């Protein structure tokens, strides 16, 4: 069965809208750690959280509390900076997913450039793996990026499904073919395959046609659904859709 990782960044985004700079306040809500526990009760196989350089949503204390509290696994999304690497090496999550960061974006908008950033990525990947942390690279479904990820020695690639999610009709089918081809190449090169970005309850059935998938990381759609049914139920509904495949 394909596993579900629930990204709880948007829970922290809601909190920071009112309590930016005061996340430790006793009034600060909602609590990302409580959200993670609800997602686990709903069947999540892991919790994903992105500690950005500007701390716009998750805070350092959130990450350490997640590490101490959740019973599944922590997938730590991170930009390739010395500051965030230092946090990762202290937290020691099971997985670390290296992603690009743009200070102007609301959420991650594209894949990592593994081809053009190999020296810097290689050093970070080695540091993470030396600490027993599995490494994933969040990349667009481009064959040259898959090949570069394999050369860098990452265990996983996470295919960026944003272009697929935003496309319509024939264009969406073409994006799905690109994702499938990227997954086939990744598998042939010994990489395991995750996917994420823009996946929702309506399009997940198509996403599940991508071969060799291990895990989907989904945040926005589950949090949006949780507004109406609660996070535990929203997670359970997505787990059921993955199981039906």
**pLDDT in the model for residue 109:** 61
DSSP letter at 5 equals E
CB 49 within 8 A of CB 219: no
* Positions marked catalytic: 50, 77, 197
**pLDDT in the model for residue 83:** 97
> Tokens 């309590």 belong to which residue?
19
d(CA 17, CA 202): 28
**pLDDT in the model for residue 240:** 98
**pLDDT in the model for residue 106:** 47
d(CA 39, CA 3): 13
**pLDDT in the model for residue 26:** 82
Closest CA to 180 of 167, 199, 193, 198: 193
**pLDDT in the model for residue 27:** 87
- Would you state the torsion angle of the CA atoms of residues 112, 150, 84, 140, taken in this order, to the nearest 10 degrees? 20
Topology of domain 3-244, CATH? TIM Barrel (3.20.20)
Tens digits of pLDDT across the chain (245 residues): 899 999 999 999 999 999 887 666 788 999 999 999 999 999 999 999 999 999 999 999 999 999 999 999 999 999 999 999 999 999 999 999 999 986 554 455 678 999 988 899 999 999 999 999 999 999 999 999 999 999 999 999 999 999 999 999 999 999 999 999 999 999 999 999 999 999 999 999 999 999 999 999 999 999 999 999 999 999 999 999 999 87
d(CA 149, CA 39): 30
Render the burial of 37-69: b for 16+ CB within 10 Å, e for the rest: bbbbebbbbbbbbbbbeeeebbbeebbeebbee
CB 183 within 8 A of CB 210: yes
């Amino acid at each position: 069965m394909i596993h579900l990782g629930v990204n709880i960044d948007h829970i922290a985004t809601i909190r920071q809208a009112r309590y930016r700079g005061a996340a430790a306040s006793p009034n600060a809500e909602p609590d990302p750690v409580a959200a993670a526990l609800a997602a686990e009760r709903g069947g999540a196989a892991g919790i994903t959280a992105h500690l950005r350089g500007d701390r716009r949503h998750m805070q350092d204390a959130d990450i350490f509390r997640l590490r101490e509290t959740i019973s599944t696994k922590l997938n730590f999304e991170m930009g390739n900076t010395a500051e965030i690497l230092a946090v990762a090496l202290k937290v020691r999550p099971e997985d670390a997913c290296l992603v690009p960061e743009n200070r102007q974006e609301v959420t991650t908008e594209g894949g990592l450039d593994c081809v053009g950033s190999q020296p810097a990525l290689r050093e970070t990947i080695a540091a993470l793996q030396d600490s027993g942390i599995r490494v994933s690279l969040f990349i667009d479904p481009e064959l040259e990026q898959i090949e570069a990820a394999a050369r860098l020695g990452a265990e996983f690639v996470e295919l960026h499904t944003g272009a697929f999610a935003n496309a319509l009709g024939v264009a969406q089918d073409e994006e799905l073919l690109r994702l499938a081809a990227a997954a086939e190449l990744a598998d042939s090169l010994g990489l395991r395959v995750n996917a994420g970005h823009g996946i929702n309850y309506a399009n997940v059935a198509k996403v599940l046609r991508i071969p060799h998938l291990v895990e989907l990381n989904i945040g926005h759609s589950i949090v949006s659904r949780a507004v109406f049914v609660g996070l535990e139920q929203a997670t359970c509904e997505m787990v059921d859709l993955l199981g039906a495949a």
